[in-house]
């Protein structure tokens, strides 16, 4: 009986380990993607501005995301999604590979999108509540995806 239980536990562990795909990984560095975003916006890099922190969903407690995003959005999201917290100069990215596969995207183009918001906020001192800024982020993200995502 102990042997059967042990084999069942091993099988269950093996199934759960293979059922959960590895998190999506960036192909390009944050610095490379930022350079592409700046080029698209025809801006020069500013060394006086700190790069944003990057927190991945698989390694970030939901409460950290909620605490940083709630003041900006006015509510506490129930899941971590791609977002830029201007106050904390932090980008959150989902690294769930099925999300990117389902929408034929890559994690790098999501980072490009959030880096557009970083540039809008920090370089251009724009209010991220302006809906027109989202259209620009989508356009640059799409261009990045077409050039760099498989």
What is the distance between the alpha carbons of residues 112 and 146, in angstroms, rounded to a whole number? 12
**Residues counted in the chain:** 150
Question: What integer pLDDT is reported at residue 93 of this predicted model?
Answer: 97
Query: What is the mean pLDDT, run by run of 10 residues, along the chain of 150 residues?
Result: 31 46 94 98 97 97 97 94 96 94 93 98 94 94 95
The pLDDT, as a whole number, for residue 19 is: 64
CB 149 within 8 A of CB 108: yes
Which domains, from first to last, does the chain contain?
A: 24-148 (3.30.2010)
DSSP the chain: -HHHHHHHHHHHHHHHHHHSPPPP--SS-HHHHHHHHHHHTT----TTSPPPEEEEGGGS-HHHHHHHHHHHHSS--SS--SEEETTTTEEEE---HHHHHHTT--HHHHHHHHHHHHIIIIIS---TT-HHHHHHHHHHHHHHHHHH--
* Cα distance between residue 107 and residue 11, in whole Å: 32
- Residue 89 phi, psi dihedral angles, 5° rounding: 50, 50
């Amino acid at each position: 009986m102990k042997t059967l239980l042990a084999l069942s536990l091993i099988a269950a562990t093996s199934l759960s380990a293979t059922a959960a795909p590895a998190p999506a990984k960036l192909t390009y560095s944050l610095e490379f993607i930022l350079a592409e975003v700046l080029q698209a916006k025809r801006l020069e890099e500013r060394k006086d501005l700190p790069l944003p922190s990057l927190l991945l969903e698989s390694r970030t407690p939901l409460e950290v995301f909620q605490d940083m995003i709630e003041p900006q959005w006015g509510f506490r999201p129930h899941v971590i999604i791609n977002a830029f917290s201007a106050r904390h100069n932090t980008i959150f990215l989902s690294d769930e590979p099925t999300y990117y596969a389902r929408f034929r995207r890559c994690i790098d183009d999501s980072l490009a999108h959030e880096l557009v918001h970083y540039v809008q906020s920090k370089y251009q001192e724009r209010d991220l509540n302006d809906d027109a800024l989202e259209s620009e982020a989508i356009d640059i993200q799409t261009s990045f995806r077409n050039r760099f995502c498989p």
